């Protein structure tokens, strides 16, 4: 099939070309994000292959459908950027990669925790500057502390296993409890209990209307003083303004982010020569107890290989009318997952 690949980086080309040796689709790569301005690049293709910050709202999907696009092949797990109602109205099929690096994302979340609790980001700079003073670098041990995992799906469950390995007590919240969590020694509690009892809170939920700004003023107000919050899910889970107020008051002691509400204008690009206009984001970077990575939790060689292979397999399966239901995103699937 003819595929327009948006938001392409050199590593996408490398892994997609390798996987395409087994599929033989016609892949045409476009560097820009899919936006109202760039969507005409997809005209005339049967498939648009998109990533996390591509816009797939009703207007864009309508234009694409009018110009021959029948399949949106997401090369990510989250699908919050797709108007599924519009896609269904227009007869466009949407596929995704339901799982490609649950271990990698969980390991990155743990990397953020360990960076923050042992102040590695500060120590790294200090030592390079010939400053070996330990002042301000005192950390805390994970052993014996309580972690709260919100969302115990594929990534969350890996977090439960890893953090239990550190000797932490693990509390969990998920509307669909996962028996594996309990067998790993996690304990399901209400969300307000999780907020109140956890020393470290890590969120692993999809971005939906229910989870949008789940960590807001009210939630932060219920948390322990000095809590650590980790978000590797989607930026919209956190109300950034509320979290900045929490950091300023000391209620939040540590914040580790791999995602950010307005990351579409920032992440995946080299903006080092530019003036960043987002004042909320820049304020976050001023805190010594905040570490931000630019949506790299998924970014491992295993994951890129899986993403490329599954994306092209989804396209081949669609062509042969053999699409696996688990890889297809429909409103019904989303409802069943909740």
The CB-of-210 to ligand NAI minimum distance in angstroms stands at: 5
> Would you mind telling me the total number of residues written for the chain in this entry?
338
Report the residue number, 199 or 258, with the smaller CB distance to ligand NAI.
258
Which residue's C-beta sits nearest to ligand NAI? 153
Residue closer to ligand NAI, measured from CB, 45 or 281: 281
Concerning whether 18 is annotated as a catalytic residue, the answer is no
Taking the least distance from each CB to ligand NAI, the nearer of 168 and 194 is: 194
Residue owning tokens 């969590």 = 181
Find the angle CA(114)-CA(120)-CA(124) to the nearest 5 degrees: 155
Which residues of the chain form contacts with ligand NAI (CB under 6 A)? Answer: 77-78, 99, 102, 105, 150-156, 173-176, 204-207, 210-211, 232-234, 258-259, 295, 297-298, 338
The minimum distance between CB 68 and ligand NAI, in angstroms, equals: 29
CB–CB of 94/79 below 8 Å? Answer: yes
62 versus 182: smaller Cβ distance to ligand NAI = 182
Catalytic pick among 96, 108, 295, 309: 295
Contact by Cβ (8 Å): 278, 284: no
The residue from 23, 96, 204, 234 that is catalytic is: 234
CB of 233 to ligand NAI, least distance (A): 4
Nearer to ligand NAI among residue 42 and residue 102 (C-beta): 102
Cβ-based neighbours of 11, under 8 Å, separated by 6 or more: 304
Does the annotation count 213 as an active-site position? Answer: no
CB of 211 to ligand NAI, least distance (A): 5
Look-up: residue for tokens 């970014």? 299
Give the three-state DSSP class for 104.
Answer: helix
Q: Is the dihedral of CA 281, 282, 287, 289 positive or negative?
A: positive
Residue 120 Cβ vs ligand NAI, minimum distance, rounded to whole Å: 20
Q: What is the DSSP string of 243-297?
A: HHHHHHHTSEEEEEES--TTGGGTTTS--TTS----HHHHHHHT-TTEEE--S-T
State the Cα–Cα distance between residues 52 and 76, nearest whole angstrom.
7
Examine the residue annotation and report whether 263 is marked as an active-site residue of this protein: yes
d(CA 254, CA 287): 9
- Catalytic member of 96, 261, 263, 309: 263
Helix, strand, coil shares of the chain, percent, nearest 5, are 40, 15, 45
Catalytic site positions? 234, 263, 295
């Amino acid at each position: 099939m003819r595929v327009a690949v948006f938001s392409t980086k050199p590593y996408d080309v490398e892994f997609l070309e390798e996987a395409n040796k087994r599929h033989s689709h016609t892949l045409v790569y476009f560097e820009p994000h899919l936006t109202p301005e760039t969507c005409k690049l997809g005209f005339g293709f049967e498939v648009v292959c998109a990533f996390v910050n591509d816009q797939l709202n009703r207007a864009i999907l309508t234009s694409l459908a009018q110009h021959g696009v029948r399949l949106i092949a997401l090369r990510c797990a989250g699908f919050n950027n797709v108007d599924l109602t519009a896609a269904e109205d227009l007869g466009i099929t949407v596929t995704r990669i339901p799982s490609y690096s649950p271990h990698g994302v969980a390991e990155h979340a743990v990397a953020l925790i360990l960076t923050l609790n042992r102040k590695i980001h500060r120590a790294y700079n200090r030592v390079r500057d010939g400053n070996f003073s330990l002042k301000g670098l005192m950390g805390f041990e994970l052993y014996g502390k309580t972690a709260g995992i919100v969302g115990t799906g594929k990534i969350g469950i890996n977090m439960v296993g890893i953090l239990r390995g550190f000797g932490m007590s693990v509390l969990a919240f998920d509307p669909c409890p996962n028996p594996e969590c309990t067998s790993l020694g996690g304990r399901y509690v209400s969300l307000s209990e999780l907020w109140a009892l956890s020393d470290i809170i890590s969120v692993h939920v999809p971005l939906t209307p229910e989870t949008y700004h789940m960590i807001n003023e009210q939630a932060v107000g219920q948390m322990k003083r000095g809590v650590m919050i980790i978000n590797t899910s989607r930026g919209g889970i956190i109300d950034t303004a509320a979290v900045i107020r929490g950091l300023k008051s000391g209620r939040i002691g540590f914040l580790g982010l791999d995602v950010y509400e307005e990351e579409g204008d920032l992440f995946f690009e080299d903006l080092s020569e530019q003036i960043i206009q987002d004042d909320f984001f820049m304020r976050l970077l001023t805190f010594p107890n905040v570490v931000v990575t630019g949506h790299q939790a998924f970014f491992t060689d295993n994951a890129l290989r899986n993403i490329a292979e599954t994306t092209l397999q989804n396209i081949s399966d669609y062509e042969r009318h053999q699409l696996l239901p688990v890889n297809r995103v429909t409103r019904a699937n989303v409802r069943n997952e909740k």
